Amino acid sequence: MNPLAHTLEELLKAPRKTLESFLPVGSLGEIPQQLKKILSFDYDDQPLEEKYFAMHRHWLKLLHDYYFRVEHAGHVDEVAELAKREKVILISNHANTLEAALICYYFYLRKLGVVRTLVYKEAFRLPLVREFFRSGQCIPISVAAGKEALKKDHILLFPEGMDFIKHYIKRDYVVKFHKGFLNIAREYLQAHPGRKVHIVPVGHDGIDYTIKFWIINHPFLVEKFIKPYLHYPYFVFPKAPMIFPSKAIFNWGRPRAVGLDELQGEKAMTKLTHEFRGDVVRLKHRARQLRKLSKTAEAPTLEV
């Protein structure tokens, strides 16, 4: 069977399987109550079982292989070999959450283990979004949660934090990095003396062109219409169509081993944060170059 046809056949089965996973009901009469819970603003950050993440493979394969035509560049094989031996901290530039799903999917494809994405806590109040993150094995971001997750899984963080949205307001805005990923590394190493932890920088380009947003960040609107329900500094609404096709390049940097001695003192932490930020920025810029070259190669030529 044609691979694309097989993927589409699996994709058609996915909605029913997904519904059954989110609505484990014994009778139709229980469905309204389950839907009410899913559509509520109730907080719930408990990850669903790993089997639910595996169900995402149907649509992620479609996005990864056909819609975005994702290519992986850089030290991807070195990262894979390392991830088979030990748990790593992944850091990346932030776009719109799809990049997190695709990074996790790539680890899933290569059987490198589970990746726990650390997500802004308030996302676990958003209807439907909450279930998406829970089924994707995401956890609310905190140093304690990251340290605990790193004991048995890889973790993925976006050091730009919620400031990443400024990139959508001004395309060339340079977003600073927060030190959270290094705080997690330090806490983990303090609990495991003598070890080192590998941090893997990833830079990608193309994902941030897939969804266009209206950004609501006016103080009056935020205070009156957003803060009563969610503690977000802004809110976004996707424009139609929801997702545009876009060639995407993921450029994987060389893993860097970090020891506890490098994480002592605020000055050392700030210096290391700037270094990792520089790595991600360079990887992103190179990914953009590769994307342009790839698009040029894909463009049809006209015979004269």
The backbone torsions φ and ψ at residue 118, rounded to the nearest 5 degrees and listed phi first, read -90, 125
The backbone torsions φ and ψ at residue 120, rounded to the nearest 5 degrees and listed phi first, read -50, 130
Tens digit of each residue's pLDDT, the chain (304 residues): 555 445 445 544 544 454 444 444 444 455 577 677 777 778 778 888 877 777 888 889 998 998 889 999 999 999 999 999 999 999 999 887 889 999 999 999 999 999 999 998 888 887 777 888 888 889 999 999 999 999 999 999 999 976 666 665 565 566 789 999 999 999 999 999 989 999 999 999 998 887 776 667 767 776 776 767 666 666 666 666 666 788 999 999 999 999 999 999 999 999 999 999 999 999 999 999 999 998 776 654 444 3
Rounded to 10 degrees, the C-alpha dihedral 267/268/270/273 comes to 180
pLDDT of residue 119: 92
pTM, to two decimals: 0.79
Q: Is 25 exposed, middle or buried (0-12, 13-18, 19+ CB in 10 A)?
A: middle
pLDDT of residue 225: 67
Q: How far is CA 12 from the centre of its chain?
A: 25
Domains of the chain: 44-210+245-297 (3.40.1130.10)
pLDDT of residue 122: 80
pLDDT of residue 159: 94
pLDDT of residue 256: 98
pLDDT of residue 74: 97
pLDDT of residue 25: 46
Contact 214, 235 (CB under 8 A): no
Three-class secondary structure of residue 5 per DSSP:
helix
Read off the tokens for 188.
Answer: 């983990």
For 6, the enclosing helix (H) or strand (E) is: helix 3-22
Three-class secondary structure of residue 181 per DSSP:
helix
Read off the tokens for 270.
Answer: 């700030």
pLDDT of residue 188: 97
Q: Is 127 left (phi over 0), alpha (psi -120 to 50) or beta?
A: beta
